[in-house]
Amino acid sequence: MIAFENLTKIYNVKGVKKVILDNASYRFENRKNVALMGHNGAGKSTMMRMIAGIELPTSGRVRRTEKVSWPMGFARGFNGTMTGVENVRFVSRIYGCHTESVLEQVQEFAELGSSLDLPIQTYSSGMKARLAFGLSLAISFECYLIDEVTAVGDRRFKSKSKRALKDKIKDARVVMISHSEKTIKDYCDCGVFAYGSKLYHYDDINELLRDYRKFC
Amino acid sequence: MFYAIWLQIRVVAALTLRETRMTFGTSHSGYFWAIFQPIFSVTFLMTLFYLIGRQSPFGQSLALYFATAVLTLELYNKLSASLMRAFTSNKSLLSYPMIKEPDTLLARLCLIGCTFVVINVVFYTGLYAMGLGQIPAHPERVIFAFLTTCLLGFGVGSVNAILYQKNKAWQHIEKIFARPLFFLSGVFYIPSSMPPEAVAIIKWNPILHVVEWNREGFYSNYRSDVLNIAYPLGLGAALVIVALFAERITRKQRV
């Protein structure tokens, strides 16, 4: 279960006040794949970071009873001077996974070959994305937070990650941010629309997309 | 509850391994230098003082008297300086939900603490082998002094980390306080035999107390009039509490 309870999030940067959420309550329906949509700067990524537990709300609380991934998509948690292997080992250690079996899965999925033994700073952005995606798939989560990442890598890798993700959501679910209507339709069962510091629920994806087109 | 403790141990262990890799590099010689670099610099200073014919203020061995202070001071300096940058250089780690800022502090404490255990063992064993050292008369005092130094270093380092993150200028201000410690920590003199006016000032230096504690542990007949165990322990604990509170209270504003 993931739920926002009377959640307020206000950013105050350099005197500019920005209200992301204003006393919003929302329950991400159990086992459903949820689309999170809104215009640029509506705070979708911030909400995702709050779901993950990386960022704290200004007031209110986030309830979380399932094992939630870190927001996938940007390989921010990697250390550039450490090799791919070392980064993978580190992440599996903090999640309490068996390091070598995670490593094996990442090796198989990301197809980086011997580059895995090189420092991350030598990687291209596509290679980093492969590693990040492979790693988050190798660690089993109950809920994957996906921030615009189904479109990384070349064509072959894209279809491979699509298959892998489809396979994963048989027994896990996703909360997904995307501006691509096709991707949303592909993965999500229901959705939430962030607008004017409030959250609106949609049982029907087509209605969500209609309002998204109207307001964004 | 048990899960939370297990998670904490797991995270700090993984972070410590990562820190080890970051500070020492990939090669095994990195570990060698991390341990021998402070040993060489202390040895160099000591050789210098032997050459100019300095007598040991206490006991036969100038080296031992010198080491009991300098190694303690090194541990403290290393902790307070390295923890200062723990938040700023570990920002990317905070994208993993279970890693919080205090974990990065604990990881550095573990790494530096362990490194200095090795450094101390190697150094004092070396001194003993050369006939310049001795087996501590009260090993438990030596151990307590070491742990208290860690506590002080952790407290000051954590406060440094918070202030440094708020304002980068703190690194320069902190140096003003850290520099005179070498002269205020009884490296070359016996604090108890200083004039009372001088003692009234240097006794406010918490490092002096752990140095004195350490010496009471090494020498069977060293009696310090200055030493007050409660001062470094209380100050260290208070700083840790203040730092952790401040970290938690300001966490919301920081991201």
pLDDT of B144-171, one tens digit each? 999 999 999 999 999 999 999 988 999 9
Residues of A with CB under 8 A from a CB of B: 12, 52-56, 58, 68, 70-71, 76-79, 81-82, 86, 90-91, 93-96
Q: What is the pLDDT of residue A73?
A: 67
With a cut of 80, say whether residue B255 has pLDDT above it. no
Q: Chain B residue with minimal CA distance to A71? A: B95
How many CB atoms are closer than 10 A to CB A182? Answer: 9
- Nearest chain B residue to A118 by CA: give it: B26
**Which of B14, B21, B251 has the CB atom closest to A56's CB atom?**
B251
Q: How far is CA B127 from CA A164, B124, B134, B189, in A?
A: 61, 5, 8, 20
Q: Which DSSP string do the residues of chain B spell out, in sequence order?
A: -HHHHHHHHHHHHHHHHHHHHHHH-SSHHHHHHHHHHHHHHHHHHHHHHHHTTPPPSSSS-HHHHHHHHHHHHHHHHHHHHHHHTTTGGGGGGGGSTT--HHHHHHHHHHHHHHHHHHHHHHHHHHHHHTTS----SSHHHHHHHHHHHHHHHHHHHHHHHHHHHH-TTHHHHHHHHHTTHHHHTTSSS-GGGS-HHHHHHHTT-HHHHHHHHHHHHH-TT---SS--THHHHHHHHHHHHHHHHHHHHHHHHH-
Nearest to A69 by CA among A141, A137, A131, A132: A141
A162 within some domain: no
> Do B22 and A81 count as a contact with CB atoms less than 8 A apart?
yes
Angle at B123 between CA B118 and CA B125, to 5 degrees: 95
Shared domain check, A60 and A8? yes
Distance from the first to the final alpha carbon of chain B: 27
B interface mutation test: which of A13, A94, A102, A121 has the most B CBs within 10 A? A94
Query: For the residues B216-241, what does the mean pLDDT come to?
Result: 95
- Same domain for A89 and A44: no
- Sequence-ordered list of residues with C-beta below 8 angstroms from that of B3, at least 6 positions apart, any chain: none
**Single-letter amino acid code for the residue at A189:** D
Q: What is the DSSP letter of A6?
A: E
In a domain, A45, yes or no: yes
Report yes or no for ipTM above 0.95.
Answer: no
CA atoms A33, A34, A39, A41: torsion sign: negative
Task: Grade residue B29 by pLDDT with cuts at 50, 70 and 90.
Answer: confident
**Among candidate residues A170, A123, A130, the one with its CA nearest the CA of residue A149:** A130
- For residue B138, the model assigns a pLDDT of 95
Tell me whether residue A164 is in a domain.
Answer: no
CA A130, A131, A137, A138 torsion-angle sign: positive
pLDDT of residue B254: 66
- pLDDT given at position A149: 65
Cross-chain residue pair B93–A81, CB shorter than 8 Å: no
Count of structural domains, chain A: 2
Please report whether residue A79 resides in a domain: no
pLDDT under 50: residue ranges of chain A: none
The residue assigned the tokens 């306080």 is: B177
Asked if the Cβ–Cβ distance from B255 to A53 is below 8 Å, we say no
Question: What pLDDT is stored for residue B31 in this prediction?
Answer: 82
Can you give the pLDDT at residue B228?
Answer: 95
The CATH number that applies at residue A18 is 3.40.50.300
Tell me whether residue A21 is in a domain.
Answer: yes
Question: Looking at residue A83, what DSSP letter applies?
Answer: B
Q: What phi-psi label fits residue A31: left (phi over 0), alpha (psi between -120 and 50 degrees) or beta?
A: left
In-domain check, residue A53: yes
Note whether A82 contacts B18, CB cutoff 8 Å: yes
Please state, in angstroms and rounded to a whole number, the distance separating the CA atoms of residues B166 and B84.
11
Q: A15 and A65 share a domain? A: yes
In angstroms, the Cα distances linking B30 to A116, B15, B27, B80, B111 are: 22, 18, 5, 22, 14
Q: B152 with B232: CB under 8 angstroms?
A: yes
Amino acid at A175: V
HSE, CB side, 13 Å, CA atoms: give it for residue A118.
12
How far B182 CA lies from chain A's nearest CA (Å)? 35
Same domain, A59 and A111: no
The predicted pLDDT at position A33 comes to 94
pTM, whole model, 2 decimals?
Answer: 0.87
Q: What number of CA atoms fall less than 13 Å from residue B227's CA on the CB side?
A: 15
Whether residue A202 lies inside any domain: the answer is: yes
With CB atoms and an 8 Å threshold, state whether A82 touches B11.
Answer: no
- Range of A8's domain? 2-69+176-215
Determine the Cα–Cα distance for residues B115 and B33; give it in Å rounded to an integer. 11
Over chain B, what is the mean pLDDT? 91
B230 in reach of chain A (CB within 8 A): no
B41-69 pLDDT, tens per residue?
888 888 888 888 888 888 888 889 999 99
Give the tokens for residue A161.
């990650």
Interface contact B97-A52, CB threshold 8 A: yes
Question: What integer pLDDT is reported at residue B146 of this predicted model?
Answer: 98
- Across the interface, do B22 and A79 touch by the CB < 8 Å criterion? yes
Domain tally, chain B: 1
* Domain encompassing residue B175: 2-23+31-254
